[in-house]
Amino acid sequence: MASIEREVENGLLNAVSAISGLNKFTSERGTARTMPYVLAQASIANEQLGVFTGVFGLSASLTYVARADDTSRQAFDSKYQSLVDELYRNPDLPAYMTEATNITVYQAKITQEEPTINSNNRSWQKAITLDIVATAKK
C-alpha cells in the first residue's frame, strides 16, 4: 500500500479522471510537467482523536495549470469549473475516494480556491485546497 498522502492524491486524481485532455500528476514527480495538467498534493497535518489512532488530518490541493498563450481565459475557466464540479459528485467525494483507494476518507472539505498568473512560464493556474480526514484500510 502507498502512503496515506499518496492514496489521497490518487483519490483526488481519480475523482477528476472524467475530465479529458489533462495530464495528471501526484507530488512524487518534482520535474517538469506537460501542460495542461492537474497536480494533486497532500501532506499529513496532524493525527486526529489523539496519538496512535491512525486517523489523520491532511491538507491537500488540486492544482490545474495551463499555458496562457495556448488557451483562452474562458476555456481555462471552463475546464477548471469542470474539475470543481467533479469534486461535488454523487456519491459524495469521501465515499468515492474510499471506494477507489486503500484509505477510508471520513471528510473532504474544500476550504479555499486560489488563482495565480505565472509570468515565468506564461501559465494560469488555480488551486483548490481541501481538508481531508482519512485512515488506512485494514
What pLDDT shows up at residue 37? 95
Tell me the mean pLDDT in the region 26-48.
Answer: 89
Overall CATH class of domain 4-136:
alpha beta
What b/e sequence results for 3-21 when a residue is b if at least 16 CB atoms lie within 10 Å of its CB, and e otherwise? ebbbbbbbbbbbbbeebee
Cis amide bond preceding 91, omega within 30: yes
Domain locations along the chain: 4-136
Residue 2's pLDDT band, with cuts at 50, 70 and 90, is: confident
pLDDT digit string (tens) for 9-19? 999 999 999 99
Res. 114: pLDDT tops 70:
yes
Whole-prediction pTM? 0.88
Helix boundaries (H) for 1-138: 4-15, 73-87, 93-100
pLDDT digit string (tens) for 79-95? 999 999 999 988 899 99
Res. 53: pLDDT tops 80:
no
